[in-house]
Structure formats: C-alpha cells, structure tokens
Structure 1
C-alpha cells in the first residue's frame, strides 16, 4: 500500500540516556519467565539453521540420496526452511520465516534466497519458481524431478521420461507471497537492492501480471490450480479438495498487489502504483461481495471446487489465510469467521479437545497467531503461541523430522510473533520509522526487547499494555517512533507530560497514538 507519511512535529521533552555496549543478537526479558526462556531458545535455535559459508550435501531427503546427491558442496548465504531431514529451503517456509530471520540477524540470507527464487521465476515455467532449492542454490530435485541441467548430475537416469517443466511442485499462493515478503524485508532493512535488483523486479512485475493472466482461464482475475501439488495447486492445503480457486491464494494475491504498488511508489512511479492499489481494492471487493458468498450461510466460502461449486466449509490454510492476509473486511462477518476457525480447531491435535479440523503438523499452527493478532484477539493468538511452545518437545507427525521444535518454522515464527504480534512492531527502515502497539494477554505483564534492528538503527522497546518505552541506541539519523495504544484516549503521557493524542483505526479497532523523533542516545516514555 502506498504509505502516506505524516510529518508530525511535537514539542516533546526527550530523555538523554547513555549508550552502552550491545551485541547483534536480539534478546527478551519478561515477567513471564516461560516466554522469556522460550524466546531466547527460539533465537538460538533459529541461528542454528544458518547454512551460510558451510559445506555439505544436496538433495538429501527421506528417500535416501536424491538425484545428483553429493557431499562437501559449498553453501551460499541461506538457512534451513523446511523439513530438517531434507537438505533444502522451500518457498512457503521461507516466506513465513523471513521476519524471524531478520530479527536474528540473517538479512543477507533473506536477500540471497529471495534473489535465487527470483532468478528461477521464468517464462518456461509460466512464471512459477522452483519450489525448493539446495543450500548451494541448485534445484532440490525431490520436488522438481527434471529441472534444467540435471543431465549433468551424478546418477541422472538416462531413461527418465518426465519432460522438462511438466511435473514439479507448485502452489499459487507461494508466488504471491514472494512479492509480499520481499516488501516486508525492505520494510525491515531499507536495503535498496530490493528496489534495484533486476531479477527481483522482474519477479515482482511478472507475478502480478503475466502469472495471473496465464493461470486465469475463466477471466475473473484469480489464478486457477489444476489438481495436486505436482500439477499446480491453487492452495497451500496440499490434500483434501484440490480446488480450482482458493481463498489463501486470493489473500496472498491481494497482498502482492499492495506490495508491488509500494515498490512502484518507492521508484516514484506513482501512476502505476495507484493502478496496483486499485487492482487490490477491486480484488478485495470482488472477494467480499461475490466470490466468498455462498447460499445458505453467512460464512465465507474459502474455495471454488473443480466442479465450480462454492465451498463454505473449513479447509485449514485455505480458510485462515483469508483473514490473516486482511482480505476479509473487519466486522461481524469476519468476527464470526474467526470464531468458526477456533471452533474447527478446538485446542489442537494432541490435547484433550482436538476437533476434526485440527491439523496434525505443528507448522500449520504457526500461522494462527498471525491470524488473530491483527484483529486484537490477543488471548486467542497467545493461546496458539502457547500451544506451539507446549508442543515443541513432542515428536513431529513426520517421524524423520524429529521433534516439533526441530521444524525450523517453529523457532523463526516464535521470534517474529513476539515482536510483530505481542509488541505490534511495524518497521519502515527506509524512512527511519517504527510503530508499536502493545498486545499483551493476561499472562504477560511486560516485555523488554533489546537490540532490535530496523535498517541501520538499533533500538530497545519496553512494553506493557499501558506503557511503551523506546530507546534509540544506535543510528546515524533520527528515528521517528509512532507509539500506539488500543482505545480512544484524548491524551497520552509523554515523558510525564500530557500530550494530545491522535486517533485512527487498524483492522476495525480504534487506537490512539503520538509521534516523536529520537536522536541516537535518546529515549521516550509514553503511557495511558
């Protein structure tokens, strides 16, 4: 979305604080000792998945040595994103791990992995990328049996009959998520390469234009799937109904349009940016007023089946991605749908209250905090964070994977959900800005986050639901802090001085805020 940056000048008294020594690893303190310990475990666990500069195998998976298997290959900047028993990183896991990877200091890995996926997004695959890559940047052949160049791999079978490009794993939401999450990386880092790199820019442009057109046979503006993951899935739910069109893909498409519009705006291509915003608005309206409406129910239909029928039943990712991607309109219908998702999940598999819709795999649950936090449903979001924490030492449903906590997505998303979810941190590194919004459940009194990186800035954030402190420890330029609190407050205390608050809404919930500029070495305290 094109950002309207408000230049707010407030005569606020600023506290000057000494700058101490700091490391590059984010850390957390809290009155909830279990969360504090788990967060710091998650940081170390996420860092353990870093593959940059190492040597090792490729194409290792549960079926033993894959096509072209070899050892002691030099790895490029990368980290594990997918099953721990497969030597690869996957688009879907990568997209969900990007924020956590930034928070633990893996910006170069994020950029290099995104660039590789962009380089493989080509016209011969109808603007899909390869689904998974080895840590040396080559194609992980379990999911793409015959990619270009495999003839030179050790053990390539001469009788292999799969024609190039005809059978490889592909899921429509993933391509849109790459565009969305490239923008997310830019917001966290301000790294100009996300704007200037030609391969990345080509991917952004082609995914929101040619990719949509080539896969939209019925011309309603929504790409269609063709069956299972090797034929081309319309959804991240890889089993069940194999729909023609799916709500999770539409949600990801909506966010991709907004992300591309924002990228265009950064290049000062404002006319083109406005056109992409309009496409996003049109898509969201079509979804809410037509596509998602099914006879006999007020619930959203989450899919269009292969026979052309609407599907208003629960379908895991196909369902919860719709509100998670902010595709649904805030209000009674959306609230009822979030209730519906909760009812279908119960308390999760492995508890005393599982429901038929409860996924068996832990990684599916890592999306649920991200689904509930945006709508201020803090206790539900926290419930699923606790569930993931409680399940991390239990066996994964896929035996070869080991423990749930050894699935990389678990550690990366726990880190990001503390920062972006519980603390409501939104970065804008290129414009030297941070926004905060405390969302503490009853079991958490305060969070104290240190060594948070936003672009070239290093900051510390302390929060309770009624107080926020931001310390700008390191930065060559001033940092603009937008401090938000839920509710309608006429004034906010800023360094013990009553200051008139501004008001706005976020996903249907009112909040109040002030804005202040911090030089390096300065601190602001705000409370309600």
Structure 2
C-alpha cells in the first residue's frame, strides 16, 4: 500500500510539473503550405538557424551566431539582418542581449564606434579588434543597429528597445557625435577624408589602421570615400531616431531629424543615380570617380528610394545579379516586399538548396525564415498602434499557414486560405488590431459574417491594396473574405 501511494504521488507530481512546463512554454513556430518546396525550405531554415543558438551559460549571455561560425561570435551587420528571423524563432532574449551589448560598448575612445564583433566569451573578437585605436569597423553599422532596435520594438512591443538608458545613449551618440566625428554630414560625403580618425603612427599595411572606419559594407576597396549603403544607412538611421523621438512625444526634435534624414535621401538621387546606365552608383573613391557593386541592395534594405521607377529598376537589377551569399540573403524579403514574388520564391529555394555554396552561413537560414514570414505571409506588426498587418504574396491559388508566431507580446496563428481569404487567431492576453490586406480592388469584406467596407492604399511599387481593420480579442479568431 505505501508503495502504491508513493507511485501515485510521483505520477501526480510529474503530471503537475509537465502541465506547468507546458503552460509556461509556447510551442515552436511552424509553417505549412500548398507549396511543399517552400514548406521544406522553412523546415530546413528553422532547424539550421536554431543550431546557431548559443549556450545561455556563456559569458556573453544569451546569443546566437551571426558571423563566421568558426569565431563563435556575432557582428553588427549580421545581427541587424538576422534579428527578425531570430525573433520569429523565439530568440527574443538573445536579440535584446546582443543589441544591448553593441549599444553599451560605444565609446569616445573608439570615436563612438562599438565593437564590430563580440564573441561568446563576452570580448571584442580578436579577429577584428586589437585596442581602441586599432580595430576593424564598417561605418554603416551604427545606423543598421539603430534601425534593427526600432524594428524589434515594432515587432515585439518591448519598450526597452527605445527607452533603455544604454540604447538611448547609443541613439543620441549615433545621431550626433558619431556623424560629426566621422565627417558624415550630407554635404561632406564626397569630400570627406579617407581616414578622418586614423591612429598615429598610421600603417598602410595594417588592416586595423586602414579599415578603422570603412565608409561602406563593401570591403577590400582601397581609398574609398563613401558607399551608397552608408548614405542610405544615414538616411534610415536619422529617420529611425526621428520615429523614436516622435514615439516619446518629442515632436519638434523628431521633425528636426526627419528633415536632416531627408537631406541624405536627396543626395542619393542627385549624386548617385547614373541616368545613362539606369542604375545607381554604389562607391565613390579618392580618385573622384564613381563605381558599382552589389551595394544597391542596401538602398532597398534601408527603404531609401521614393522614385517608383528607379526602385523597380534597382530591384530588377538585383534579381538579375546574385552576388555573394551574404548579400543574396537579403533578397527573399526584399523581393516579396517589392512585387517580385516569383523571384523571391526562387531565391528561397536557391538559398536552401544543399548544392548552394555556403548555405550554412548563419545569415542564410535566418533570412529564409524572415522571407517567408514577413515576405510571403506579409506579417508586419506596429507596436505603436497594436496593429498586425498581413498580406498574402503568392501567385495562383495557393495557401499557407504560420502557427505559434510570437509578435507584439502575443502569439498568433495566421492562415492565408487564398488571395481573397485569411484568418487570424489571437492566443495572447491582449486585444490586437488586425489590418487584413488583400492585393486588388475589392469593395467589401466579411469577417465572421459581419460586413466591412474596405479601405484602399498602394504598396511600395504602386500596386493597389484593399484592407479592413478588425479588433481581435484574446482567445478568438477572425476569418476575413473579400468580394468585388
């Protein structure tokens, strides 16, 4: 009898523990589709990306690899690109820790740079850093990280990304002292010195001297004054800072930085467009000549183009010219967002193909996850209004479902049953506003049998979208179908 009591008690205890664990942990995100090749690509990308999750007991804290895997490290550009894919996969603690480390490690001694790359031991990676006067650094990085922190706020609703004291300091120093120290005023980009903060003595044969403040993500180009990715980053970084200030009610300051950002966007159009080639120049050297390389990707990544014709030409040129794997990993989401849906699908299948060289580079798998969720499924949250926008970007009569997606401190299931019908379930604890969008000119929508009059807008490339905004209470589902 005592043995039976003990056995029953143990079973009951295990049941309680199992129930508690199950309630505390959300299920992993999953993706299914009528397009089985995309479904297979997502499964591969999810599995590969999660392999790069670091050990929480590592000295650096929660992290994932975002650099060459052999370094056990993460760099500013890669994290800025991988962070939304990481958030989709539940790596929110990692994102916040890594972004925070970049913010906390800027300093006047480094001319308001941070550590370009940090390893799992919590140190500046020795491959890129010797001391505060001798290190490798790409100048677009501060603006990329600033933009990433804003996108993570919009995605998660975590206000620490805009209010944490270290991040506030990073925002301020990036928008002010960093620009001044590196001679990055809008009217100085083509005349600035190549090495404005060089160490003395300066060693032309030492990369830690010549690459301390590279004015582009394009590397290995001697005597470079400016890259278009830096100009686009300046635009987006200052506009991001304006958005953050506006979010805090600082309207006057926000307007100032929005105007300042606009001066860089205008420079892109006036100084960098090559009318004869129908393409943007991307590099400007000490010789006074422009050149071209795949840096145009960052014009689209930083959403710096307002001329629809030039934007379409730029994206088409990207689609026709796959570059290195790092650059190509940006393409799926950008192609979906800018109307090249078939090219986006093609790129996802290319990146996930076992025959593709270097597909194991961490950035690739995270970008495939982002491309499918933000690109194909069109998920775009905005913490400022508590709104989740969605739009299905699949040609034909296909369907797709994403389940257990962490967004806005909630958990949602999203089903695109066709290009005219979608459903969203809110498994969180707060109401959400769903902006259910559909490509095309529709007159009305039915959500759970209730008639909605549709509103209209256009996307980045001028395509018409019809949408309705529906409030979804916790634990409920809305099913929306549009009609002409």
- TM-score category, normalised to shorter length: 0.7 to 0.9
Correspondence list, 1:234-273, <5 A: 234-240=215-221, 243-273=224-254
| More helix by percentage | 2
Call closer, same or farther: CA 1:250–1:218 in 2, change over 3 Å.
closer
Which residue is 1:226 aligned to?
194
Which residue is 1:460 aligned to?
413
Which residue is 1:501 aligned to?
454
What CA deviation, in whole Å up to 9, does each residue of 1:62-101 have, x standing for no partner? Answer: xxxxxxxxxxxx4411111111111211111111110011
Counterpart selection for 1:429 from 367, 372, 383: 383
Q: Deviation at 1:24?
A: 3.4
Which residue is 2:5 aligned to?
none
SS in 1 for 2:281: coil
Which residue is 2:42 aligned to?
39
Q: Deviation at 1:41?
A: 2.7
The runs of 4+ residues in structure 1 deviating greater than 6 Å are none
Whether the 8 Å CA contact 1:52–1:109 is kept in 2: the answer is no
Whether the 8 Å CA contact 2:247–2:384 is kept in 1: the answer is no
For the residues of structure 1 that align with 2:184 and 2:246, how far apart are their CA atoms? 30
Tell me how large the CA RMSD over aligned residues is.
Answer: 2.3
For the residues of structure 2 that align with 1:296 and 1:479, how far apart are their CA atoms? 49
Greater Cα shift, 89-98 or 25-34: 25-34
SS in 1 for 2:280: coil
Correspondence list, 1:127-526, <5 A: 127-145=112-130, 147=131, 164-165=132-133, 167-216=134-183, 220=187, 222=189, 226=194, 230-240=211-221, 243-288=224-269, 290-294=270-274, 296-311=276-291, 313=292, 315-316=293-294, 318-343=295-320, 345=321, 358-359=322-323, 361-390=324-353, 392=354, 394-396=356-358, 404-405=359-360, 407-429=361-383, 431-442=385-396, 445-463=398-416, 464-475=418-429, 477-509=430-462, 510-526=464-480
Q: Deviation at 1:371?
A: 2.8
Call closer, same or farther: CA 1:43–1:479 in 2, change over 3 Å.
same
Q: Deviation at 1:307?
A: 1.8
Q: Deviation at 1:455?
A: 2.6
Which residue is 1:348 aligned to?
none
What CA deviation, in whole Å up to 9, does each residue of 1:212-258 have, x standing for no partner? Answer: 12222776164968377723221112135663111111222222122
Structure 1 gaps of 5+ residues are 1-19, 56-73, 148-163, 346-357, 397-403
What CA deviation, in whole Å up to 9, does each residue of 1:393-442 have, x standing for no partner? Answer: 5553xxxxxxx22x211121111111111111111235322011111145
For the residues of structure 2 that align with 1:231 and 1:439, how far apart are their CA atoms? 42
Call closer, same or farther: CA 1:376–1:496 in 2, change over 3 Å.
farther
Which residue is 2:52 aligned to?
49
Greater Cα shift, 290-299 or 39-48: 290-299
Call closer, same or farther: CA 1:219–1:253 in 2, change over 3 Å.
closer
Call closer, same or farther: CA 1:395–1:283 in 2, change over 3 Å.
closer
For the residues of structure 2 that align with 1:381 and 1:221, how far apart are their CA atoms? 37
Which residue is 2:200 aligned to?
none
Call closer, same or farther: CA 1:206–1:527 in 2, change over 3 Å.
same
SS in 1 for 2:98: helix
Q: Deviation at 1:30?
A: 1.0
Call closer, same or farther: CA 1:100–1:341 in 2, change over 3 Å.
closer
Whether the 8 Å CA contact 1:225–1:233 is kept in 2: the answer is no
Which residue is 2:102 aligned to?
117
Across the two proteins, how many residue pairs are aligned to each other? Answer: 444
For the residues of structure 1 that align with 2:421 and 2:318, how far apart are their CA atoms? 32
